[in-house]
């Protein structure tokens, strides 16, 4: 995984927008206006913050040295993941999808149905 493949994966998800609300150095992905992933644009190494179920967040941190409590985020609900090659890309993409799904699940029913109808 690199920044380009991360971006491509995120924007392919239904209802996703990308923004730079914190300035030109942090790319933010939202679904229906709610953040599900942030990634810095200024570093040479790919990393991202993703929302995570609190129990799973702890488990991932204990299992993978490249998963840390969310940098500048609620550390109970967010992880910062450093992409070093030690974790397979498929696993990383599944965590991104989990983050997206958590945010979608918290949306009002109308918004969830709208996203569902957009995917067919």
In a domain, 63, yes or no: yes
In a domain, 99, yes or no: yes
Question: Quick one: pLDDT at residue 82?
Answer: 96
In a domain, 118, yes or no: no
In a domain, 19, yes or no: yes
Phi, psi angles (nearest 5°) of residue 80: -100, 125
Question: Quick one: pLDDT at residue 83?
Answer: 96
pTM: 0.93
pLDDT per position in the chain (120 positions), as tens?
999 999 999 999 999 999 999 999 999 999 999 999 999 998 778 999 999 999 999 999 999 999 999 888 888 899 999 999 999 999 999 999 999 999 999 999 999 999 888 765
Question: Quick one: pLDDT at residue 117?
Answer: 83
Domain containing 75 equals: 3-107
Distances (CA, A) of 87 to 27, 67, 84: 22, 10, 7
Question: Quick one: pLDDT at residue 120?
Answer: 56
Q: Is 98 helix (H, G, I), strand (E, B) or coil?
A: helix
**How many structural domains are present in the chain?**
1
In a domain, 96, yes or no: yes
- For β-strands 67-69 and 16-19, DSSP reports them as unpaired
Question: Quick one: pLDDT at residue 73?
Answer: 85
In a domain, 113, yes or no: no
| Nearest C-alpha neighbor of 49 from the set 116, 107, 60 | 60
Contact at 8 Å (CB) between 15 and 113? Answer: no
> Any idea what the CATH number is for the domain that residue 9 is in?
3.90.1150.30
In a domain, 120, yes or no: no
Question: Quick one: pLDDT at residue 119?
Answer: 67
In a domain, 13, yes or no: yes
């Amino acid at each position: 995984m690199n920044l380009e493949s991360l971006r491509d994966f995120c924007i392919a998800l239904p209802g996703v927008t990308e923004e730079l609300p914190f300035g030109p150095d942090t790319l933010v992905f939202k679904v229906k206006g709610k953040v599900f992933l942030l990634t810095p644009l200024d570093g040479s190494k790919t990393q991202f913050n993703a929302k995570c179920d609190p129990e799973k967040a702890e488990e991932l941190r204990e299992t993978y040295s490249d998963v840390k409590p969310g940098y500048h985020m609620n550390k109970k609900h967010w992880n910062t993941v450093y992409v070093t090659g030690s974790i397979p890309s498929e696993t990383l993409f599944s965590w991104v999808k989990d983050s997206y799904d958590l945010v979608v699940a918290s949306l009002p029913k109308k918004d969830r149905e709208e996203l569902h109808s957009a995917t067919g």
